[in-house]
Amino acid sequence: DTEVTQTPKHLVMGMTNKKSLKCEQHMGHRAMYWYKQKAKKPPELMFVYSYEKLSINESVPSRFSPECPNSSLLNLHLHALQPEDSALYLCASSQDGGLGEAFFGQGTRLTVV
Amino acid sequence: AQKITQTQPGMFVQEKEAVTLDCTYDTSDPSYGLFWYKQPSSGEMIFLIYQGSYDQQNATEGRYSLNFQKARKSANLVISASQLGDSAMYFCAMRDILTGGGNKLTFGTGTQLKVEL
């Protein structure tokens, strides 16, 4: 099983809403990631979790709050977003130590209105 | 800093023909990993092929092969016998292993491939 599952697939939220994106993998990977991708652009790294601990925050605004409750789950909590935060949010996972390829989920298409 | 360059914003290929997507990279690390991903319009990033910097042979995975020329710092993707389902955006990426665990993929700007009948 090389599947990374993201929910929801689509999300429309207002600027005052609070919502969460969820990501799950059962490959035993201990590194998990959030990437943000704008239309016609490459993905950009937001956060890295290694063994359930946040190891990298790429200067992401605090209105994005990641959480890794266990080795299989990764959440991204959203609050007070701006319209420019509308994008495809991709979750990925990879083996211990970052070796091997990263497997990505199908992404959540987020629209902030 | 690592850099990935894809100079072909768009490519067309006829069905059943082979196509080469270009990728050049720049890094000062002696050990690195190069990846190709396919992204259909649905959004999912699909892993295609991996090449390690110390691998002696070019990587192959089914219809995908990676033409790795280390001295030229190029890692071109070759797709043989193109199919309509190959139409997608293709990203070349380099892995930077992080000291805190995990890795960071630096992506090129992508090549939009369209396969025609």
- The DSSP bridge pattern shows strands A64-70 and A10-13 to be unpaired
- Extended beta strands in chain B, E state: 3-5, 10-14, 19-21, 24-26, 33-39, 46-52, 60-61, 64-69, 74-79, 88-97, 103-107, 111-116
pLDDT tops 60 at residue B28? yes
pLDDT in tens, B31-87: 889 999 999 998 999 999 999 988 889 999 999 999 999 999 999 999 999 999 999
Strands B74-79 and B46-52: unpaired
Does the pLDDT at position A19 exceed 70?
yes
Dist CA A30 CA B89 (whole Å) = 28
Q: Are strands A87-94 and A4-7 parallel, antiparallel or unpaired?
A: unpaired
The residue of chain B nearest to residue A92, with distances taken between CA atoms, is B45
B102-116 pLDDT tens trace: 778 899 999 999 999
Q: Give the number of beta-carbon pairs within 8 Å between A and B.
A: 79
Q: What is the average per-residue pLDDT within A59-73?
A: 96
CA-based torsion, B38, A42, A23, A47: positive or negative: positive
Q: Region A17-46: what's the mean pLDDT?
A: 95
Q: Best of B36, B105, B107, B111 to disrupt the A interface by mutation (most A CBs within 10 Å)?
A: B105
Report chain B residues whose CB lies below 8 A from the CB of A7.
none
Average pLDDT over every residue of A6-35: 95
